[in-house]
Amino acid sequence: MNSKSSFLDFMVECGVLLFGDFTLKSGRKSPYFINTGEYKTGEQISKLGDFYAEMIKSSGIEIDVLYGPAYKGIPLAVIASAKLAEVGKNVRFSFNRKEEKDHGDGKSIMGAVPKNGDRIAIIEDVTTAGTSIRETIELFKQADIDVKITALYISIDRMEKGTGDISATQQIKRDYGIEVYSIASTRDVIDYLENGSTIQNAGIYAEKMREYLKQYGA
């Protein structure tokens, strides 16, 4: 079993990768849904960190700070940086507050606040419109920190059109010059369903996903 199949097995076992009929935030009707809020145990988040660390290391991108946008990016930045340290790659981690604070230090960027010249990688669960990239760039501008965002790491590339005829990940690369890396993609999910998955009605869901990509895929 390859690493992508292992990862998809893991997502299904955790109740994160679901199949059925779902309405997405975009209003699109999707035959599958990714709910990373279902990672609930230390064992699960530890294993997830292993998958992310493997992807980050294999990408070959040099980074100084792993940045996790609030909220779902926060535990990902923490666990991935810890797992990278276990394999000899020590990076700092950082994240933001969603709400402004009028007490304490009042900072909007927590953890290892990036410094001018730092190479930043953003870590997320999924991305659909590149919103986190734009918000992160603006956040660093407001903090007057000159950094280079080198990569975006996500779990699944949904391969859907963004605001135009290209996918959200392609749009991020075009607009910001940022490479996007995913552990798996929608096409990998389809292959997973068609080749040995034990999920009930796997073939039916695979076909529905193919139709979905024909309509919304880039």
Q: How far apart are CA 190 and CA 197, in angstroms?
A: 10
pLDDT at 38: 95
Q: How far apart are CA 61 and CA 177, in angstroms?
A: 14
| Pair 39, 45: CB distance under 8 Å | yes
Q: What's the number of CA atoms in the CB half-sphere (13 Å) around residue 132?
A: 27
pLDDT in tens, 73-88: 999 999 999 999 999 9
pLDDT in tens, 3-31: 899 999 999 999 999 999 999 877 889 99
Domains belonging to the chain, first-starting first, are 3-216 (3.40.50.2020)
pTM of the full predicted structure? 0.91
**Catalytic hit among 29, 72, 83, 103:** 103
pLDDT band at 2 (very low <50, low <70, confident <90, very high): low
Q: Can 103 be counted among the known catalytic residues?
A: yes
Q: Can 57 be counted among the known catalytic residues?
A: no
**Catalytic hit among 29, 40, 101, 148:** 101
Which pair of structure tokens corresponds to residue 80? 């991935």
| Pair 84, 51: CB distance under 8 Å | no
Q: How far apart are CA 12 and CA 100, in angstroms?
A: 36
At residue 89, the 3 state secondary structure works out as: coil
pLDDT at 47: 97
